[in-house]
Amino acid sequence: MQNFWAVLVVLPIFTWYSMFTVLDRNYNLAQQDVENIVYRYTQIAAKKGVLYQSVLEEMEKQLSKYGEYEIYISAEKFLGNDEPTVIEGWDAVDVGLRAEGYDLLNVTVQYNKHHPVSILYEYSVFGAQNSKSYNLTLFGKASSYIR
């Protein structure tokens, strides 16, 4: 009976810390991976001066392992005015960005689902709720000069 009570106290604490360690590590690794993928393909597109649809699809293939996401693409052209000329979305795909004088390519990826680590960030091991709520999602952002 003494063992039962000891286990009842220790087991939830052990489970909570194990889950926290695993989920926190999972979030950080996945986040790093997403950032690397976005950075790598933005560099490729900027170097080529075109974001080909095939390159976008290859990037998406790698991003899809973490769930549903959305991509924001924009290219900026600086002509000495206060506001740069910007093209967004599909208008920046399969277009000769270098040939058209665009200077900067930006790619942002946002995942739609909240990562489960958000819940563990909100509660302590004893169930006490944090004063703030967290909505952590995976994301990646990269900008590159079109060389």
Partner 1 sequence: MDSFWSKLLILGIVAAIGVFFIGNVYAPQRSAQEAMADSTQQSVNAVKMGVEDTAPMIVKGDAIISTVNQYCTSGNTVDIIVKKSSNTYTFTNSTSTSSNQSVTTIADISKHYVRTIEKAGTQIVSITFVEQ
Q: Return residues touching partner 1 (CB under 8 A).
A: 20, 24, 27, 53, 56, 60, 64, 68-73, 88-90, 93, 108, 110, 112, 118, 120-122, 124-126, 130, 132, 134-137, 139, 141
Shortest spacing between CB 47 and partner 1, in angstroms: 21
Looking at the Cβ atoms of 138 and 146, the one nearer to partner 1 is: 138
Nearer to partner 1, 44 or 71 (CB): 71
Element (H, E) at 16: helix 2-48
Which C-beta is closer to partner 1: that of 64 or that of 145? 64
CB of 139 to partner 1, least distance (A): 5
Please, what's the largest Cα pairwise distance for the chain? 79
- Three-state SS annotation for 73-140: EEEEECCCCCCCEEEEHHHHCCCECCCCCCCEEEEEEEECCCCCHHHHHHECCCCCECCCCCCCCCEE
Nearer to partner 1, 80 or 131 (CB): 131
Distance from C-alpha of 58 to C-alpha of 44, rounded to nearest angstrom = 12
Query: 71: helix, coil or strand?
Result: strand
CB of 137 to partner 1, least distance (A): 6
Residues in the chain: 147
Closest approach of partner 1 to the CB of residue 97, in Å = 16
